[in-house]
Structure 1
Amino acid sequence: MKRREFLVAAALLPAASVLNAAPSSAAAAGGLSLQGAINRAGRQRMLSQRCAKGWRMLVDGVLPEKAKSILDGSIRLFDQQLVDLRALLPNDEIRSAHQLLESEWGRYRSLLTDIRADAKLVWGGSEATLSAAHKLTLAYERTSGTPAGRLVNLAGRQRMLSQRMAKAYLFRQAGVNPEPAREMLDTAMKEFSKALDELKTAPQNTAQIKSELALVDQQWFFFQNSLSQRAADDMKRAAASVATTSERILEEMDSVVALYEKL
């Protein structure tokens, strides 16, 4: 099974990120497609949750060096993609959704830079930013109007769910919004499993996509095992396991999204 290192920090990966990071604004302006925009807007959904996960890890002292890399790299990539998406705002719906995302991100970003911030405000900021990013992603999908666009969105949502599950686990473990976090985790696990089944049966799947989805299936098995550690004696070790497996499944799902984008 592949064990590629996952997006340590966007600034440290100038050539090519394993997350297929968005191109510079100049490159985007030269030819960002609607499928590419769906991918990037969908990745903003994921980053909204990954930022909260990284922040919680940092506050709780869970793999602190990795946590800082996750948080710093996610913030940097979110900033970059917001700029890149400005290159493709073809209608009023998309322009309005992009403006909303910029506004929500500005408020959320200021919280993420302070480990002393109120955890409930960080939780709320991650939810508001996720909602805005989802609206932008759907606006791009509607404008695209193709089956491939829907698959990019669906697979992209799996990336978000991988981070949402980890966020919910860590916040619940820390005693922050424990009941909403429990419900969020249970719901996200069901949604991920259902969508994975749908992706595996998509008629557009190529042999390479089927192979990548098989790897996702394997990682999903390990991730579920980590998430089931709800009464572990060593809670920090359990949190580290969730954080690590969520990164691995995110990496595999990002490869799937890239393949759907090429369709």
Structure 2
Amino acid sequence: MKRRTYLTALGAAPWALWLGTSAHTQVLDLPDAINKAGRQRMLSQRMAKAWLALVQGIEPPNAQRVLDKSMALFDRQLIELKAFAPSPEIKLTYSKLELEWSDYKTALIGAQPDKSAAAHLLMQDSQVLALANQGTGQYEATLGKPVGKLVNLAGRQRMLSQRMAKFYLAARLDVGAASSIAEIMKARSEFVGANAVLYDSPLATTRIRQELQQAQGQWVFFDNALQKLKPGSGTDRSMTEVFQASENLLTTMDSVTALYSAIKV
């Protein structure tokens, strides 16, 4: 991807880039901040997933779109979250995240995606993820209400959907295959456990439970695709299935997160 392509995407695309729904142009309140901060975690993994798909020629037009829109949304939300920061500690976290994001963004768009750069890119996305997660936790602590924990947890499910797909594509590329498989297994366990917590919560509405039931159906398909993993080999079809299934699961979990963030208690 050329740098010009990304800059064009930033200038031409509306800020309502999030999976067809409208994104706020500013943080509305603390639950919204937790939602957006958590979404930054997810975007760190989604961008790496799209980049790895481009390396392997999987869904090139779609993967490029995912990468472009994810980068633009990350940029926008980073500005919003830093401006909204209610304490010096949170503002400092987002200042640090700005620096890590600058390096990660350069790796994503500075050269054509290539296997030789994959290990370095995965190291950078983990650093961005760590700081994004720190910011989410700080916003949750500032809210100090049970609903904040649920927004954080639901938002983390979005990240896990992308993290599993990312490591699947990394293993297919035979980049850190053993550690990638271990990370997938860890994320699978965490995802299943968290969905149960979200479903059983006293704050879960009928709509939330309906969305989680839909997510369960998507999870079965996604999990079946993940279990076909054979490091260093595989068909384009199986990688396409994982890519698309992770996008579908992400859409549903984003809806769940938004529904929890809208609860006022």
Establish whether TM, by shorter chain, passes 0.5: yes
Q: RMSD of the TM alignment (CA)?
A: 1.8
Q: Which amino acid aligns with 2:238?
A: A
Aligned counterparts, 1:187-198, within 5 A: 187-198=186-197
Number of matched pairs: 250
Aligned counterparts, 1:70-219, within 5 A: 70-113=66-109, 114=111, 115-116=113-114, 118-219=117-218
Residues 132 and 20 from structure 1, CA distance in 2 versus in 1: closer, same or farther, beyond 3 angstroms? farther
Distance 2:98 2:16 in 1: 26
Aligned-partner SS, 1:71: helix
What displacement does 1:22 show? 3.7
**Equivalent pair of 1:152/1:257 in contact (CA under 8 Å):** yes
Residues 245 and 101 from structure 1, CA distance in 2 versus in 1: closer, same or farther, beyond 3 angstroms? same
Residues 16 and 62 from structure 1, CA distance in 2 versus in 1: closer, same or farther, beyond 3 angstroms? closer
Distance 1:164 1:33 in 2: 27
**Equivalent pair of 1:101/1:129 in contact (CA under 8 Å):** yes
Which of 192-201 and 13-22 deviates more? Answer: 13-22
Distance 1:74 1:256 in 2: 19
Structure 1 gap ranges (5+): 1-8
Which of 128-137 and 221-230 deviates more? Answer: 221-230
1:44 to 40, 53, 56: 40
Sequence identity (%): 42
What displacement does 1:93 show? 1.8
Distance 1:82 1:21 in 2: 17
**Equivalent pair of 1:39/1:153 in contact (CA under 8 Å):** yes
Q: Which amino acid aligns with 1:193?
A: V
Q: Which residue of 1 aligns with 2:245?
A: 245
Q: Which residue of 1 aligns with 2:6?
A: none
**Equivalent pair of 2:58/2:236 in contact (CA under 8 Å):** yes
Structure 2 gap ranges (5+): 1-8
What displacement does 1:87 show? 2.7
Aligned-partner SS, 1:86: helix
Q: Which amino acid aligns with 1:77?
A: L
Aligned-partner SS, 1:87: helix
Distance 1:68 1:138 in 2: 30
**Equivalent pair of 1:22/1:40 in contact (CA under 8 Å):** no
Distance 1:42 1:208 in 2: 21
Distance 1:102 1:22 in 2: 20
Residues 21 and 54 from structure 1, CA distance in 2 versus in 1: closer, same or farther, beyond 3 angstroms? farther
How big is each residue's C-alpha offset from its partner over 1:124-152, in whole Å with a ceiling of 9 and x where there is no partner? 01111000100000000000001111110
Distance 1:16 1:51 in 2: 14
Which of 177-186 and 243-252 deviates more? Answer: 177-186
What displacement does 1:230 show? 1.7
Which of 9-18 and 66-75 deviates more? Answer: 9-18
Q: Which amino acid aligns with 1:161?
A: L
Q: TM-score, normalised by structure 2?
A: 0.89
Q: Which residue of 2 aligns with 1:228?
A: 227
What displacement does 1:189 show? 0.6
Distance 2:91 2:234 in 1: 47
**Equivalent pair of 1:19/1:251 in contact (CA under 8 Å):** no
**Equivalent pair of 1:22/1:81 in contact (CA under 8 Å):** no
What displacement does 1:21 show? 5.4
What displacement does 1:57 show? 0.4
